[in-house]
């Protein structure tokens, strides 16, 4: 589950400031929302706010902002307090959010296997803690999803520098999912790929988030990818705001999660 309501983010100062308002955006468990818009419209800023990297602006008088990421152990929505300290936000990021960047973002001095395992170390858990009895070991998990993504296990001991762009993006995707986060945030994950590989990877992302119950927020410029998801993918486009340098994102819905 992911929901942002009345979240405002300002980048820059004075005349150079750019304002982003997320009026409402929600993604259910196993759901996918695709974000599009021209360059400079605040799409990456939206992802940073959803991933608790960028702190939103203080609440305006009479307007309460909220960010919900996943659920607590008792099943209730995990509402992120606007006053939460950096340590708390860091723990939530490590445990509940998976990031997939445009160019992979793999750590160059770690092997492919070490890159995939890294989120488990940050979260402080083993594969069974994250996935239950579905897998006995990290190697079991890697073996399954390497087959799904058509990757050779011989790559596990290699450094990221020898990977093709397509291989690096697929490894990055697995790294973002290995700790079973509540939310996957993907910033132009197929921008560096040829059309066929892009469609294949995007289809795999859709399939895997649905089967695992993860909520995915994906930024893309590619209209073919947006259309390939059909009616099961929510599409939200950046709209001009009420200020000269501003954008608004709004899915036009009011989710019950926002009442939690």
Q: Please check the confidence at residue 259 and state whether its pLDDT lies above 60.
A: no
The pLDDT mean for the chain works out to 86
Residue spans of the domains in the chain: they are: 2-259
- Summarize pLDDT for 118-139 with one digit per residue, the tens: 999 999 999 999 998 889 999 9
Encode 235-255: b = buried (16+ Cβ within 10 Å), e = exposed: bbebeebeeebbbbbebeeeb
- Whether 152 contacts 146, CB under 8 Å: yes
- What pLDDT, in 10s, does the model give residues 68-86? 998 887 888 888 877 788 8
User: What pLDDT shows up at residue 104?
Assistant: 66
Q: Work out the average pLDDT over 220-240.
A: 72
Give the β-pairing of 32-36 and 233-237: parallel
pLDDT bin (cut points 50, 70, 90) of residue 238 is confident
For residues 4 and 205, the answer to whether their CB atoms sit within 8 Å is no
Q: 57-72 in b/e burial notation, b at 16+ Cβ within 10 A?
A: eeeeeeeebbbbbbbe
Amino acid 52: pLDDT: 92
Identify the pLDDT of residue 256.
Answer: 45
Q: What is the DSSP letter of 101?
A: B
Q: What's the half-sphere exposure (Cβ side, CA atoms, 13 Å) at 96?
A: 25
At 158-216, the pLDDT tens digits run 999 999 988 999 999 999 999 999 999 998 888 778 888 888 888 888 888 888 899 99
Per-residue model confidence as pLDDT tens digits over 104-121 = 689 999 999 999 999 999
- Greater confidence, 14 or 23? 23
For residue 71, the 8-state DSSP code is E
Report the half-sphere exposure of 86 (CA within 13 A, side-chain side).
2
Distance CA 119, CA 131 (A): 14
DSSP string, 193-231: S-HHHHHHHHHHHHHHHHHHT-EEEEE---HHHHHHTGG
**Which class does domain 2-259 fall in?**
alpha beta
- pLDDT value of residue 231: 46
**Closest to 33 measured CA to CA, from 210, 214, 215, 191:** 215
**Do the Cβ atoms of 108 and 159 come closer than 8 Å?**
yes
Q: How are beta strands 66-71 and 183-187 bridged, if at all?
A: unpaired
Q: pLDDT tens-digit profile of 27-65?
A: 999 989 999 888 888 898 999 999 999 888 887 767 788
User: What local confidence, expressed as pLDDT, does residue 257 receive?
Assistant: 42
Q: What is the distance between the alpha carbons of residues 250 and 237, in angstroms, rounded to a whole number?
A: 8
């Amino acid at each position: 589950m992911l929901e942002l309501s009345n979240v405002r983010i300002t980048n820059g100062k004075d005349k150079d400031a750019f304002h982003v308002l997320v009026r409402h955006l929600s993604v259910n468990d196993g759901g996918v929302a695709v974000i599009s818009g021209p360059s400079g419209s605040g799409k990456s800023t939206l992802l940073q706010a959803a991933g608790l990297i960028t702190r939103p602006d203080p609440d305006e008088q009479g307007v309460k902002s909220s960010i919900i990421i996943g659920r607590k152990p008792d099943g209730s929505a995990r509402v992120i307090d606007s006053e939460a300290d950096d340590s708390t936000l860091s723990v939530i990021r490590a445990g509940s959010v998976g990031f997939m960047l445009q160019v992979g973002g793999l750590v160059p001095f770690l092997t492919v296997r070490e890159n995939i395992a890294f989120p488990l170390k940050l979260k402080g858990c083993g594969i069974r803690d994250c996935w239950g009895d579905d897998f006995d070991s990290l190697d079991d998990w890697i073996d399954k999803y390497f087959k799904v993504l058509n990757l050779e296990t011989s790559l596990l001991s290699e450094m990221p520098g020898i990977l093709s762009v397509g291989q690096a993006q697929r490894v990055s995707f697995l790294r973002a999912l290995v700790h079973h986060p509540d939310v996957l945030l993907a910033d132009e994950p197929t921008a560096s790929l040829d059309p066929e590989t892009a469609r294949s990877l995007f289809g795999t992302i859709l399939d895997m988030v649905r089967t695992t119950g993860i909520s995915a927020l994906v930024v893309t410029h590619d209209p073919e990818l947006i259309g390939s998801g059909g009616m099961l993918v929510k599409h939200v486009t950046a709209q001009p705001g009420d200020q000269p340098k501003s954008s608004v994102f709004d899915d036009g819905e009011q989710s019950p999660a926002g009442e939690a």
